[in-house]
Structure 1
Amino acid sequence: MSRIYISGLLLMVMFSFSCKQNTLTLTPDPTKDTSSFTYDITGLRDTSLERTGEVRYVIFVERKTGKADNVVLSAHDMPAGMEVSFDPISADTASFYTTVVVRNTRVTEGEYKINIKGASPKGGIKLRYVNVKVLPYSNNATGLVGYFTETGTCSQSGSVNNEVNVELDETGPNKLIIKGLLSGVWTNDVKATIDPANKTINIPKQVQNSVTFEGDGTYDDDKIVINYTVKGATINESCTSTLTRKP
């Protein structure tokens, strides 16, 4: 009798252990959740970058409750020259990750409050705010890089209308290379230096393609005004030109 009792007890213990071993943890299916859809946007943060530059960071659009629904992200209230986008997607069915991209092009220094909005047909509107601090250039010449149209007059050839490319001179800060001055030929690499304190530009005396360039002027974000001379065996020009940034 005792043997039967002990055997039965062992069977009960084994059955109980087997049930525990086969217990499943069930994960709710978001497509079958009948509660109202709610979501949240996490990972947004304050950032800083120079007047021209870019920062990136990842955010998470998280489904909190309810059947998964589409969420559309957008950014608002940026200053002139600032773009805020989402890469690779600005809309998807929550939950999803995406990257916030803040890109500056000659934005005025200062602190800006940017509105990040999430919109969902079922989850409604969510507003979040981030602060973006725009810092001065570490190299002020960066602000003049780009394509310009040169217009003006020269003492011998008369009117000037050329396409000019302004690049950074990597040999030091506040240095530029102006390609195409006077001729429109971009193999003429005219070196220039800017003084950000008083917004002036100087073209030191130099020889490029057998002719001598020299001049000075002023600048702002979108325009360079210069007086310069070009001298060589077959040329002797004194020019006053305005380089206007192309859109």
Structure 2
Amino acid sequence: MKVSPILFITFLSTASAFSPQQQHKSLITSTIRTNINSSSLSFFNKKAAPEPEPVAIAGIGPEGCALPSPSGVNTLSEPLQSSIVLGICAALGVSTFFFSSFLEYITLNYDWVQTWRYTWPLLGAIYAAAGVTHFTLQEEYENIYPSKGAWGFWYLPGSAAFHVQWTGVAEILGGVGLLIGGAYDAFMPVWGECPNVITSAGIGSDAAAGLLLLTAVVTPANIFMYTHGAKLPMDGPEVPVVGHAIRGVMQIVLFGLLYQMGQGTFDALLNP
């Protein structure tokens, strides 16, 4: 029986196609193609991972100051918040009046108070140093600037950076002026005249009056720390309510001292 050469070659071709080596190569090729197709599809179907939402930290930034503060004032309705802020301002004003009157009385009646009064202008050094920190720690001070819409009525034009900077300059100038005026009062002869800047009361009195008004202007920042828990410094601990009460008493003392030193300026402005 003769076998056709053509049939024999065809048989060998068919057998080689189903050999184990050929099957292995086909499997590898198929797997590679599947992986490539899968990778291509996964590339086009891949979705970007959502960015994590920023976490609000109590007392830092508008978001952090919107969280409940230790005083709880910022959780109240805006009309009630406004009433509390106005009440604090009124209490500071009335308390300052009585304390200043007390200072005036003891100054006129006790010699040791008159001697002590020569040390009051040293507050100028504190103000000047605080003014410098408005630039070295500007971001920290910006954190306690009342956020827009605070208490339902705070919409003062200008950025937090602007107000921190101009109040810093004013504190430096006022502090230096108070020191100069105090030095004249303490060391110059009684017939010597203190240089005038704004009024005839002298540079010391003018600086004290200016610092009094400046302190009143920045008081909302201190109140914002109480009502909304704003931190200064930002990495510091939360100030308890008692701490804010102590700060309020110190502010009354400061107002009283500044008014007594700047009373001549106020009299000159009101009675030209």
Normalising by structure 1, we get a TM-score of: 0.27
Q: Which has the higher helix share?
A: 2
Larger strand proportion of the pair: 1
Which protein has greater RCO, CA pairs closer than 8 Å, 6+ apart?
A: 2
Larger Rg: 2
